[in-house]
Chains A and B, each alone.
Chain A
């Protein structure tokens, strides 16, 4: 069986990423993004890319990266989820990077790996592996994640041979910010445009598919990190909140809820880890692992955030407590790269269960 644990190196990586997120982010300034939108938190992103160099984890050394892989990127994403960090790691360092990797591209990928540029794949954020259509016509594509503030846009355009993958400089088209449910991963409407054709036909299709697969596989780790953080914060809160002359966490009704949530979160961790591992090994079970992880972790993240709001009581309903940031990120991520319902549908035939 695939190794589902973390190596010492990964533990060390986690610690540095967590430290960076704690240094450069605080919930109040993150909440501020809802009033004054920005593509990402510059300091946190700089720290990830320049100090820690994690934007290049998926990229081999000879192409300008660090030569690690999805397992390590998954650890970074767990920490990003934990901090609801407004950084384009999933969209640029995972999805767009994977598209370029698949194509053997080496110029732009080095810039992405070094954090000198960011890129986004231009498809609706609900697109999922095996179920997406290349862009038709001139209507803006929406809602696209990671496009606000990106330097490069990867636009899969429909043509007679199926797909043409265009690399378009952001300055050469229109990226209109949208009011997003989760402003920590702002969405945009992107007007299609032509640019350098990176690939056509099957090659182009395969590259986009690889990007979406990597995205779906690793989003699960972000969701797991978010869920775990909600659980920890809530456990802490109910230990300290006194009602009826005792901590509310001493009521069995609350204990049982949190014990159940612990179970879900733990299972989400295993599912996410397995998806990252099968991606790293290009394992034959990869497609199953991804659908399982997406179907499971998406709902666990939402459930954990919803429990956090509820168990924080009236405070959980306020703008002041950071809990709402988690709920908004979790609910949006549940829709990203395919809802659980769609992933269950995709999974059935893979394990020979159909209607």
Chain B
């Protein structure tokens, strides 16, 4: 075969010829794109990829964008696309890959993340939701909280306690869950923004076939870390210059001379540079990661992203006080997508507050950088080596 780029271009052209984006539905097009190995070219053949280096994804995306082809909707299925897919690909079984990746990619199946619990947020390894195996079926009981998008998800990733006799990290297992199981109850949990993007999820006797376990029993922590590292890269990345909050603010600055002032100008430029440097660092990280799984370094990017999102949206409110004093809508509703850049400035400011919590808080990410990247001695642990059942909670 000639060089991969030529081959890919040819495949893209064939795909576009067979499935005209102007006439077929997004679902159908994405399905065909998956089957052609053009979903994520670095995945193996048969799973939406062609086993090529990751860098070619960008070419494919650019060509398809030029042709007006749809992309999977990250604002609806960010967890599926950004976290579940790489985890299933890296650790899942062949059957799981075959069954779940395609509908995930086409967004026919939306995923949510059943990790956090009232007593296990930063300390994810403290999850108490328990899963018990009988025959080849697990039964799960417990409560999850702050679960984004659980109200429109078809499936979930779950970490649960499968052994209380061993230290906490060793007694967790990772599962794929059908959200339509009758034992699952999803209750809206209203947010600071007025809407309920996240939920409380109650699990009462939820059944999971053992075939939907990811990784070995007791290896849930390791699998969850893979997911979280992907989540952090997914949250922390924005590819183009001015792609994030800074772009929204810069556009406003260009359009409305009335909001300009010298002091604000320096602040705006300060944050513009921060955003640009983070973009470049993220790009470099992506280039380093072309093969393999993201490591703890991605944590630093998510940290920078959260800090900037909060500072820039705060500044945006201050720049136009008579507008910043207002809000677009406090009405409670359950959105079916997440868009950090959506709605008005007040919403963006409030929503950005979650960026330093979701997917690992900024404090935890600083610990990850300090301990796992810089190799600083770990904090003394009171729960090390103690069976989970004996840990003070």
Hey, which bits of chain A sit against chain B, CB under 8 A? 34-35, 124-126, 142-143, 178-183, 187, 242-246, 248, 251, 253-254, 302, 306, 309-310, 313-314, 316-320, 324, 327, 331-332, 334-336, 339, 341, 344-345, 355
Q: Mark B317-353, 1 if CB is under 8 A from A, else 0.
A: 1100110111111111000000000000010011001
Q: Does B86 contact A (CB under 8 A)?
A: no
| Min CB–CB distance A86 → chain B (angstroms) | 14
Q: How large is the interface on B (under 10, 10 to 19, 20 to 34, 35 or more residues)?
A: 35 or more
- Judge if B258 is at the interface, Cβ distance under 8 Å: no
Q: Which residues of A contact B180 (CB under 8 A)?
A: none
Question: Chain B, 189-218, contact with A by CB distance < 8 Å: what is the 0/1 string?
Answer: 111101000000000000000000000000
Report the Cα distance A181→B329, complex, angstroms: 9
Which single member of A180, A183, A309, A332 contacts B192 (CB below 8 Å)? A309
Cα-based distance from A336 to B353 in the complex (angstroms): 22
Q: Enumerate chain A residues within 8 angstroms of B145, measured Cβ to Cβ.
A: 314
Q: Smallest CB-CB separation from B264: which chain A residue? A: A341
Distance in angstroms between the alpha carbons of A269 and B76 in the assembled complex: 46
Q: Is the interface of A mostly helix, strand, loop or mixed?
A: mixed
B353 & A243 in contact (Cβ 8 Å cutoff): no
Q: Which residues of A contact B116 (CB under 8 A)?
A: 314
CB atoms of B393 and A334 under 8 A apart: no
Contact of B391 among A245, A306, A320, A341 (CB under 8 A): A245
Contacts A243-B123, A341-B264, A355-B262 aside, 9 further interface pairs with beta carbons under 8 A come to A187-B325, A310-B353, A313-B121, A313-B122, A317-B192, A327-B350, A331-B314, A331-B324, A331-B349
Query: Are A319 and B122 in contact, with the CB atoms below 8 A?
Result: no
Point out the residue from B146, B192, B330, B363 that lies within 8 Å of A179, measured CB to CB: B330
Known: A317-B357, A335-B324. A251 touches B261 (CB 8 A): no
Measured between beta carbons, the chain A residues less than 8 angstroms from B392 are 242, 245-246
B229 adjacent to chain A (CB < 8 Å): no
Known: A245-B392, A309-B353, A313-B357. A178 touches B263 (CB 8 A): no
Q: A242-B392, A244-B382, A335-B318 are in contact. Are A306 and B325 (CB under 8 A)?
A: no
Interface flags for B351-387 (1: CB within 8 Å of A; 0: not) read 0011011000111001100000000000101110000
Do the beta carbons of B326 and A34 come within 8 Å of each other? no
Q: What residues of chain B lie closer than 8 Å to A306, measured between beta carbons?
A: 310, 353
Contact of A335 among B262, B321, B353, B391 (CB under 8 A): B321
B122 near A243: Cβ-Cβ < 8 Å: yes
Q: Give CA–CA (A119, B146) in the complex, Å.
A: 43
Does A345 lie within 8 Å of B357, measured CB to CB? no
Q: Are A318 and B361 in contact (CB under 8 A)?
A: no
Closest 4 CB pairs of A and B: A319-B190, A335-B321, A126-B321, A243-B123
Contact status A245-B322, CB under 8 Å: no
Q: In the docked arrangement, what's the CA distance between A143 and B366, Å?
A: 41
Are A335 and B381 in contact, with the CB atoms below 8 A? no
B126 within 8 A of partner (CB)? yes
CB < 8 Å neighbour of A187 from B326, B354, B383: B326
Given A319-B192, A319-B194, residue A179 in contact with residue B326 (CB < 8 A):
yes
Contact status A318-B191, CB under 8 Å = yes
Min distance, Cβ A250 to any Cβ of chain B, angstroms: 9
9 pairs of residues in contact across A and B, judged by CB atoms under 8 Å = A178-B326, A245-B381, A245-B393, A316-B357, A317-B191, A320-B189, A331-B317, A331-B324, A332-B324
Nearest CB of A to B250, in Å: 18
Q: Are A341 and B261 in contact (CB under 8 A)?
A: yes
A123 smallest CB distance to B (angstroms): 11
Q: In whole angstroms, what is the CA distance A99 to B349 when docked?
A: 35
Digitize B268-298: 1 where CB-to-A-CB distance is under 8 Å, 0 elsewhere: 0000000000000000000000000000000
In angstroms, Cα B324 to Cα A182, docked, is 10
**Does B326 lie within 8 Å of A143, measured CB to CB?**
yes
What 0/1 pattern do residues 116 to 132 of B give for CB contact below 8 A with A?
A: 10011111001000000
Alpha-carbon separation in the docked complex, A245 to B121 (Å): 12
Which residues of chain A have C-beta atoms less than 8 A from B330's C-beta?
A: 34-35, 179, 183
Closest A residue to B361 using CB positions: A313
B326 x A181 contact (CB < 8 A):
yes
Contact in complex: B357, A310 (CB < 8 Å): yes
Evaluate whether A179 and B329 lie within 8 angstroms (CB atoms) in the complex, with A245-B383, A319-B192 already known.
yes
How far is A242 from B324 in the complex, measured between Cα atoms in Å? 36
Between A245, A327, A336, the greatest number of chain B beta carbons within 10 A of the residue's beta carbon is seen for A245
Q: Are A244 and B123 in contact (CB under 8 A)?
A: yes
CA–CA, A74 and B260, complex, Å: 34
Q: How far is the CA of A34 from the CA of B327 in the complex (A)?
A: 11
In chain A, what residue has the closest Cβ to B306?
A: A310
Q: In whole angstroms, how far apart are the Cα atoms of A335 and B315 in the complex?
A: 11
B391 partner residues in chain A, CB cutoff 8 A: 245
Q: How far is the CA of A272 from the CA of B236 in the complex (A)?
A: 39
Residues B325 and A318 in contact, CB atoms below 8 Å apart: no
Q: Please report the C-alpha to C-alpha distance between residue A334 and residue B349 in the assembled complex, in whole angstroms.
A: 14
Look across to chain A and name the residue whose beta carbon is closest to the beta carbon of B392.
A245
Chain A residues near B393 (CB-CB < 8 A):
242, 245
Contacts of A345 in B (CB 8 A): 263
Complexed CA–CA distance, A318 and B196 (Å): 9
- CB-nearest residue of chain A to B332: A35
Residues of A close to B126: CB separation below 8 A:
243-244
**Minimum C-beta distance from B231 to chain A (A):** 15
Query: Residue on B with the closest CB to A305?
Result: B353
Docked complex Cα distance between A302 and B353 (Å):
13
B317 touches A335 (CB 8 A): yes
Residue of A nearest to B329 (CB): A179
**Nearest A residue (CB) for B354:** A317
Which chain B positions have C-beta within 8 A of A142? 322
| Docked pose: A254 CA to B354 CA in angstroms | 18
**Complex Cα distance A27/B376, Å?**
42
B363 to chain A: closest residue by CB: A253
Contact A143 B122 (CB under 8 A): no
Q: How far is the CB of A300 from chain B (nearest CB, A)?
A: 14
* Residues of A with C-beta under 8 A to B361: 310, 313
Give, as a whole number of angstroms, the nearest-CB distance from A254 to chain B: 7
CA distance A336 to B145 in the complex (A): 36
B357 contacts A179, C-beta separation under 8 Å:
no
Which B residue's beta carbon lies closest to that of A187? B325
Q: Is the CB of A310 within 8 A of B356?
A: yes
Q: Report A222 CB to chain B, min CB distance, Å.
A: 16
Cβ–Cβ < 8 Å partners of A244 in chain B: 122-123, 126, 379, 381-383
Q: Are B318 and A181 interface neighbours, CB within 8 A?
A: no
Nearest CB in chain A: distance from B123 CB, A: 4
